[in-house]
Amino acid sequence: MSVELPRKRIIGYGDELSVAPGETIAFKASCEGLESYEASIVRLISADLHPDGRGWIDEPVTSDVDGSYRAREQAIPAGSWAVVPAKPCLCAETFTVAAWIWPTTPLKGEQVLARRMTPDGTRGWSLGIDSAGTLSMQVATTQGVVSVSTGMTLGNRVWCFVGASVDGETGTVTVWQRPQKSWPGHDATDEAQALFKGAVHAGGLPLTFAAAFERKDGEQTFGNRFL
C-alpha cells in the first residue's frame, strides 16, 4: 500500500534555533506556485493533534513581521555533497584526483564526482560519470575542451576505485577505474588517455565533490557512496 503525501507549498525556517531578548532572528520562506503569503509570529502553546490531546493552541504576538509578502521559490538541491572554497594550493597544473565510489544509479545521466569548472564549462576540469555510465574526465582550456572516458560502464552497487591525472607539462589527461571485485565476463577495469592543448586554469573556482556547484535539484548529483 502506498500513500501520496500532500506536497508542501510553503517551507520556512528561522536562521537561529533560539535567541534571547534583544537578539535578532531572520525567517526564510520558499513558496511554490504562490504569488504572496501572510506571515506573523505566534506563541505556540500546544501542537498536540491527537484526538484525545489538547489540540493546536497558539497566541498571536504583535510584531513588525505581520503582513503580506511577495512569494518566490528558493529551491534547496537534494543530496549530500561537499564544497571546498577556492584556494591557491588547489591550482596545480599537474594533479591527480581519485576516490572510492559505490554507484547505485550509474545510468541515470551525468553525475559529478569531483569538479572545478565554470558553469558554462569553458574553464577548469570535471571528473564524473557520463550519460553512458562510464567514468569521464573533462578539461577545458583556452585552446578548447577535451573529454576522455574509459568506455566501460561502471558496475551497479560495486565498490570501484576511480580517478584521473592531468599532466600539465605533457598535455595528457588519464582516467581509470578499478573495481574491487570482478566476475568472469564482466571486468569493469579500464583506462583511457587523451591529449589537450593549453593549460588547465581553475583559479577562483570552488572544488566540489559528489555534485556540481551550480546544479539544480537532482541534477548532476552522484548517488550513492563516496570516499
Q: What is the pLDDT of residues 26-46, one digit of tens each?
A: 988 999 888 999 999 999 999
CB atoms within 10 A of CB 6: 5
Same domain, 198 and 123: yes
The answer to the question of residue 176 being in a domain is yes
Domain end among 49, 70, 91: 70
Q: How many domains does the chain have?
A: 2
Per-residue pLDDT band at 224 (split at 50, 70, 90): low
pLDDT at residue number 90: 84
93 lies in which domain range?
A: 82-226
Same domain, 153 and 86: yes
Same domain, 123 and 66: no
Look up cell 528561522; give the residue: 14
pLDDT at residue number 164: 96
The answer to the question of residue 219 being in a domain is yes
Mean pLDDT (the chain, rounded):
86
Q: Residue 79 region, left (φ>0) first, then alpha (ψ -120 to 50), else beta?
A: left
pLDDT greater at residue 76 or residue 13: 13
Q: Please determine, for residue 143, whether its predicted confidence score (pLDDT) is greater than 60.
A: yes
Same domain, 119 and 217: yes
Same domain, 88 and 184: yes
Same domain, 130 and 216: yes
Percent of the chain with pLDDT strictly greater than 70: 88
The rounded distance, in Å, linking the Cα atoms of 177 and 198 is 26
As a whole number, mean pLDDT of residues 149-157 equals: 89
The answer to the question of residue 90 being in a domain is yes
Q: Please determine, for residue 127, whether its predicted confidence score (pLDDT) is greater than 90.
A: yes
Same domain, 91 and 19: no
3-class DSSP assignment, residue 88: helix
Contact criterion met (CB below 8 Å) for 98 and 163: yes
Same domain, 197 and 148: yes
- The string of pLDDT tens digits covering residues 64-115 is 899 999 999 887 766 678 888 988 888 888 999 999 999 888 888 888 999 9
Domain end among 19, 42, 70: 70
Same domain, 24 and 87: no
Report the CATH number at residue 150: 2.60.120.200
Same domain, 170 and 99: yes
Q: Please determine, for residue 3, whether its predicted confidence score (pLDDT) is greater than 70.
A: no
The answer to the question of residue 3 being in a domain is no
pLDDT at residue number 216: 53
Per-residue pLDDT band at 221 (split at 50, 70, 90): low
Per-residue pLDDT band at 218 (split at 50, 70, 90): very low
Per-residue pLDDT band at 145 (split at 50, 70, 90): very high
Same domain, 63 and 96: no
Contact criterion met (CB below 8 Å) for 40 and 62: no
As a whole number, mean pLDDT of residues 147-160 equals: 90
Q: Where are the beta strands (DSSP E) in 104-171?
A: 111-117, 124-129, 134-141, 144-153, 160-167
Cell, residue 202: 581553475
As a whole number, mean pLDDT of residues 16-34 equals: 90
Same domain, 199 and 122: yes
